[in-house]
Structure 1
């Protein structure tokens, strides 16, 4: 482990460790070369081969450089893979310097005992597979897809795939009795790793398996390693644990087949199966055609018998024999194109999947801590007197109530801020940072309207959409709660002042 304050390559100053594992350590660092205040953050991964044999170090260096080239290539073709800033070797040890992803990993969203709905899981799988398609097109296998390695980026709510498994081999290079160089570490995680990968022969479809298990975990609320297997076929038994459509169940089942030959072979195949509509039965197609003919006949009567006779006579002039109705190809109705719905941009926000926030607990019973201003129910560090984790804060004088995440006495993470009855705002649900709505979330107004999009320092700030109760929308860029190009149109309804200020909401020290 490197001590805090260590400067690597005269540039990257270690701030604090992020984690360690079988492959090495990971640190949060500052880039001292960038002339800004504060210094931009980055992630430094330290890989030190256990065996310092000269031959093995040479092989490790070649492997390291090869995998670094892959990472460089990936971040150039997809912005949902961390950018690789540098890779270097010092004293037989290897370092990767990557982009710091500000956000949270999906282990904060996919929680045991809290199953998701089918629509939410489909969207998650689409988001992951769309990134994985590009990676598979480069013939690269991630090898360690799991909730901890999928980040939800704070700035836009998009997922980012991190921690590719390939470079981890460097840590445990060794020679066997025949003098062959091998890696003694198994890349992958139990529950998300299929048989062929456990046997050291991963394939592109191994990633598909991991994504499928991620979807089943979200649907059932059961960690993959806790799901039973069929003792004969080895297939995962999960269908009886959730209520899901047959079509979606079929796709998931084909993603997690025990034998790789029976799975979708690439992320592209899985994504196509997930997004394509099921075929319409012939009987339904004929019923649809018959309905169209009935409607067309009624319309012809209304337009007049002359037009009907004209159309029929022209048709039979070209066709001497009456046409076979089953041979007629039904023509789709003419639909006037509508502009795309902007709500799709923010239909799923980072905190939406937190089902606890939709129904906060009541502020009843003995509080954990109480002041003249509020009652607090939740976790407190008795030594530091700081609130950390999930908690409920109920204000006494104005009936505001916050339920969500705390960090060092500050509202930080996902939370729901409920407003008093006299306010035209019902609640805000979304991301908080240092006590303020900051990131992505939405305001629900009491008249049925809502704003979904970006917030900064308690304000609607950036890209967002205002949705009326009738589902019509006004989208654009918002500055200080106002829509650009409009006459003071506010995201908060008629009373913009009803959004509480930070000085009003900041909790006093416990």
Structure 2
């Protein structure tokens, strides 16, 4: 096919995207629509055998109907615009996905961390669950068939094997056509698929191999197998928690009866447990000054020549903290879906380690230095309401480094924040000590624990790892007061895969 050729007086071929032994893929323009949007044209080369051509037409039509249904119901599967035959050749026209395939993110020598791999597996399995619910087997899950869409970063599943299935028609010695053809990519195909009998769990195997590839940086076809069990040997080549390793092992079992049977089952296994775990208390709000205190402070500022601009900045600082949503430390939040850190909450882990047991730990590198808490400055601070501020420049709103001491109305005593503010909110590195002695040192963003940090409970139990929106979220290790370590991937304050229980507060 020549560049510039027009199919059906509508689709103008712009350039070649890819080519294989049996077909080619082109980028084209749709001349019938405004602005001539781009689309993808897949062309299956002409077949010489008429019987094969007739069967190919039946399979082609059936596959096109499946793709049309899937694309219309899911935004993460390309929509089918047209399928037709012209001059003895078959064509599919699909929506163009502007983005890149995952071979640019997963390649030999590159290892993704466990949080990234877990997120990737969940995204792929969510799409595949929709496909499996339609009783459809994709048969060719691999990085090249997973596109990262530029507009929203979501993964789009492409190439459902319509062209490959048709092009792979073979005739056996008795002259019978084999309809259960082999479609797939070596390394991602389990044994039953290689034998021509794919199942839904064959797709689960492929996704599992994708996850192992991302963790190890080793292509699936290069990983060794046990000579007796035929199971993939990979754990010694990755830094991974026992929980995720167990899930991946089950996804890639040689015996398909021992795998998760559908994408939905595998996805459920990756989701965090519903058991509660110890989330840190929310960042406490600073006390808002009363109207009388603001008026008095305004007089002081004007009298000293500082100016009303600083007053406005201070007011915005206090109001931003005061409006920050907080969780009641004594009562659960209705429908929040998050645990409350009262004294009865516990944390669970999939495997109860002992101090001498082997384990995988997560030594997350803290971005902010863990500096000791210095004595309160001897020089007088600025009083703003019931808070005392030290060291911050007199700008509006407060920005820079300094110390804020204020009453902890929830836990009693005084809270102290040593660290950075930006435009009147906690932002950057900081050290927060609550009225009951609990402490957080790490990264803040928009008044929340955000990034890497360490939270130390009053009894010595501590969590070191990643935070998001005041929750343990990402790689991290919880160390109990007895010294036991609970490492893994946390999501919204919960350790994935929880069975055994340890008291932390």
TM class by smaller structure: 0.5 to 0.7
Taking the aligned partners of 1:49 and 1:202, their CA distance within structure 2 comes to 27
The answer to whether the 8 A contact 1:49-1:172 is kept is no
Q: In the superposition, relative to structure 1, how do residues 155 and 449 fare at CA in structure 2: closer, same or farther (>3 Å)?
A: farther
Report the CA distance between 1:338 and its aligned residue.
8.0
Check conservation: 2:25, 2:41, Cα contact below 8 A. Answer: yes
Q: For residue 433 of structure 1, what is the aligned residue in structure 2?
A: none
Say whether the 8 Å CA contact 2:23–2:163 is kept in structure 1.
Answer: no
Contact 2:124/2:207 (<8 A) preserved: yes
RMSD after superposition: 3.0
The CA deviation at 1:147 is 0.3
- Measure how far apart 1:3 and its partner are: 1.2
1:236-281, Cα deviation, whole Å (9 max, x unpaired)? 000111121111111000000011111000001101111142889x
Counterpart check, 1:46 vs 2:35: no
Q: Which residue in 2 is equivalent to 1:335?
A: 332
Residue in structure 2 matched with residue 468 of structure 1 by the alignment: 446
Call closer, same or farther: CA 1:63–1:146 in 2, change over 3 Å. same
Q: Which residue is equivalent to 2:22?
A: 23
- Between Structure 1 and Structure 2, the one with more helix by share is 1
Change beyond 3 A, Cα 1:174–1:255 = closer
Matches within 5 A, 1:250-269: 250-269=246-265
Q: Summarize the Cα distance change of 1:3–1:277 in structure 2 as closer, same or farther, 3 Å threshold.
A: same
Q: Does the residue aligned with 1:230 lie in a helix, a strand or coil?
A: coil
- Structure 2 distance, partners of 1:49, 1:269, is 41
**What residue in structure 2 maps to residue 244 of structure 1?**
240
- The residue that corresponds to 1:99 in the other structure is 95
Q: Could you give the per-residue CA deviations for residues 263-304 of structure 1, whole angstroms, max 9, x where no partner exists?
A: 000001101111142889xxx9xxx9xxxxxxxxxxxxxxxx
Q: Distance in 2 between matches of 1:30 and 1:340?
A: 47
Cα separation, 2, equivalents of 1:255 and 1:97: 33
Q: Is the 8 A contact 2:189 2:206 kept in 1?
A: yes
CA distance in 2, matches of 1:179, 1:161: 36
Q: State the alpha-carbon separation in 1 of the partners of residues 46 and 197 from structure 2.
A: 22
CA contact (8 A) 1:23 1:170 kept: no
The secondary structure found in structure 1 opposite 2:166 is helix
Distance 1:166 1:17 in 2: 19
Q: CA deviation at 1:69?
A: 0.2
User: RCO greater where, 1 or 2, for CA within 8 Å and sep 6 or more?
Assistant: 2
Contact kept? 1:34, 1:40, Cα under 8 Å: yes
Instruction: Report the secondary structure of 1:13's partner residue.
Output: strand
Q: TM-score, normalised by structure 2?
A: 0.56
Tell me the alpha carbon deviations over residues 289-338 of structure 1, each in whole angstroms, 9 at most, x when there is no partner: xxxxxxxxxxxxxxxxxxxxxxxxxxxxxxxxxxxxxxxxxxx9741248
* Partner of residue 56, structure 1: 52
Distance in 2, matches of 1:259 and 1:15, equals 46
Aligned partners of 2:147, 2:161: CA distance in 1, in Å? 16
Equivalent of residue 177 in structure 2, options 170, 176, 181? 181
The question of whether the paired residues in 2 share the 8 Å contact of 1:247 and 1:278 is answered with: no
SS of alignment partner, residue 261 of structure 1: helix
Of residues 204, 208, 226, the one that matches 1:230 is 226
Unaligned runs of 5+ residues in structure 1 are 289-331, 342-423, 425-444, 451-465, 473-510
CA–CA separation in structure 2 for the residues paired with 1:467 and 1:130: 30
Correspondence for 1:201 = 197
Superposed counterparts of 1:67-146, under 5 Å:
67-146=63-142
Aligned residues of 2:24 and 2:42 also touching (Cα < 8 A): yes
Q: How does 1:397-412 map to 2 (within 5 A)?
A: none
Secondary structure (helix, strand or coil) at the match of 2:448 reads coil
Change over 3 Å in CA distance of 1:274–1:96 after alignment to 2 = same
- Is 2:213 the partner of 1:217? yes
- 1:167 matched residue in structure 2: 163
Alignment size in residue pairs: 303
Contact 1:143–1:166 under 8 Å retained in 2? no
**1:321-376 residue CA offsets vs partner (Å, 9 max, x unmatched):** xxxxxxxxxxx9741248799xxxxxxxxxxxxxxxxxxxxxxxxxxxxxxxxxxx
- The Cα shift of 1:166 comes to 3.7
Instruction: Report if aligned partners of 2:99, 2:149 keep a CA contact under 8 Å in 1.
Output: yes
Unmatched tracts of structure 2, length 5 or more: 279-328, 339-398, 400-421, 429-443, 451-505
Question: How far, CA to CA, are the matches of 1:279 and 1:82 in structure 2?
Answer: 38
Deviation of 1:53 after TM superposition, in Å, equals 2.7
**What displacement does 1:470 show?**
3.2
Cα offset for 1:59?
Answer: 1.3
Q: Could you tell me whether the CA contact under 8 Å between 1:63 and 1:167 is conserved in 2?
A: no
TM-score (norm 1): 0.55
Q: Output the CA distance in 2 between the equivalents of 1:263 and 1:180.
A: 33
Q: CA deviation at 1:170?
A: 1.4
Deviations 1:395-441 (A, max 9, x none): xxxxxxxxxxxxxxxxxxxxxxxxxxxxx9xxxxxxxxxxxxxxxxx
Contact preservation (8 Å) 2:180, 2:197? no
Q: Deviations over 1:112-144 (max 9, x none)?
A: 212111111000000000000010011100000
Q: d(CA) in 1 for partners of 2:70 and 2:427?
A: 41
